[in-house]
Amino acid sequence: MGNSNRLSREILQIKSHMDSLKPAEKRVAEYVMEHADEVVYSSITNLANEIGVSEATIVKFCQRVGYSGYQELKIMLARSDRESDDQEIIYGAIEPGDSIGQLKDKLFQIYDESLESTHKLIDDGLYQKVVEKILSARRLYFFGYGASGIVARDAELKFVRIGLPAIAMTDSHNQKTVASLLKPDDLVVAISDSGRTRELIEVLDILDEIDCQRVAITSQVGSPVSERSEITLLTSSRETPYRGSAIASRIAQLAVIDILFLATALANHDETTAALQKTREAMQISKE
């Protein structure tokens, strides 16, 4: 299981917490991810000796990534192993000389893996809390840069169409200006795959001073962006060359936005229906 291309939920969960782990705990994480099938049959004493850490460090690692202790981690790893598809890597990394056909196959596998992995990390309860925040917010802001900025723009278009005051901000100077004027009942959704975008961290520090509501969409729980947000919605993507990682992370982020959009629209059905009708009529007039 440690070498499986389609990672289990447990391995994805560990990966998402890497930034929050201490050095010794990271060594445990790396060993568990690489040797998950062996860990299932190993005692905590043997594992501690193998890695060169204390048993207490292993217990702390387990708790930090969401388990009550080592025994629960072993149980969940074993369960994932039984449920695994055992699918082999069909296509490798994108490389020079790839034909259109090869690129097509590799790219769609990247999409598939990104969406499947993100699906495993979704916490329904957290998404429901974010939807409630969206519905009660005075204004809704989406902050992001680069590929994440594209996702922010997509979110703005979606939520505006159902009558919500949504604004995408993709420029650091504008973000800081707007952030300094926000109120506690405004909601900012910060989008960053790494969770380490310096400009976004600076903006979130401004928001913290005014106690503005903050939600992060990122692949790293312990990242600065995540730590500065009230709720973190996790994504997952396989890193590949030629900006493949940005492609994969963007697809995962778009899926998260779509879930939030649809859940919000359904929770606010009558207003959503009326708003969509008005926007359709407006677009029809522009075509005449």
Of the residues 83, 110, 141, the one at which a domain ends:
83
pLDDT in tens, 153-208: 999 999 999 999 999 999 999 999 999 999 999 999 999 999 999 999 999 999 99
Q: Give domain status of residue 27, yes or no.
A: yes
Same domain, 135 and 244: yes
The pLDDT, as a whole number, for residue 162 is 95
**For residues 2-23, average pLDDT:** 77
The pLDDT, as a whole number, for residue 32 is 95
The pLDDT, as a whole number, for residue 87 is 45
Q: How confident is the model at residue 144 (pLDDT cuts 50, 70, 90)?
A: very high
Q: How confident is the model at residue 282 (pLDDT cuts 50, 70, 90)?
A: confident
Distance CA 162, CA 34 (A): 46
Q: How confident is the model at residue 4 (pLDDT cuts 50, 70, 90)?
A: very low
**For residues 126-137, average pLDDT:** 97
Residue 138 has pLDDT above 90, yes or no: yes
Q: Give domain status of residue 101, yes or no.
A: no
pLDDT in tens, 43-92: 999 999 999 999 999 999 999 998 989 988 988 887 776 555 444 445 56
Same domain, 275 and 173: yes
Of the residues 83, 107, 132, the one at which a domain ends:
83
The pLDDT, as a whole number, for residue 284 is 79
Residue 285 has pLDDT above 60, yes or no: yes
Of the residues 54, 83, 112, the one at which a domain ends:
83
Could you tell me which residue, 284 or 130, shows the higher pLDDT?
A: 130
Mapping DSSP onto H, E and C, the string for 240-268 reads CCCCHHHHHHHHHHHHHHHHHHHHHHHHC
CATH value at residue 132: 3.40.50.10490
Same domain, 29 and 172: no
Q: Give domain status of residue 1, yes or no.
A: no
Same domain, 156 and 271: yes
Same domain, 187 and 126: yes
Q: Give domain status of residue 228, yes or no.
A: yes
pLDDT in tens, 196-249: 999 999 999 999 999 999 999 999 888 999 999 999 999 986 655 555 457 889
Residue 2 has pLDDT above 60, yes or no: no
Q: Give domain status of residue 177, yes or no.
A: yes
Domain that holds residue 13: 9-83
Same domain, 275 and 140: yes
Q: Give domain status of residue 129, yes or no.
A: yes
Same domain, 163 and 64: no
Same domain, 136 and 260: yes
Q: Give domain status of residue 91, yes or no.
A: no
Same domain, 151 and 249: yes
Same domain, 47 and 127: no
Same domain, 140 and 36: no
CATH value at residue 72: 1.10.10.10
The pLDDT, as a whole number, for residue 3 is 42
The values of phi and psi at residue 168, to 5°, are -95, 135
pTM (two decimals): 0.77
Using CA atoms, how far residue 213 sits from 153, 209, 262, in Å, is: 20, 11, 21
**Nearest alpha carbon to residue 205 among 171, 177, 228:** 228
Could you tell me which residue, 105 or 214, shows the higher pLDDT?
A: 214
The pLDDT, as a whole number, for residue 216 is 98
Give the count of domains, the chain: 2
Q: Give domain status of residue 104, yes or no.
A: no
Same domain, 70 and 132: no
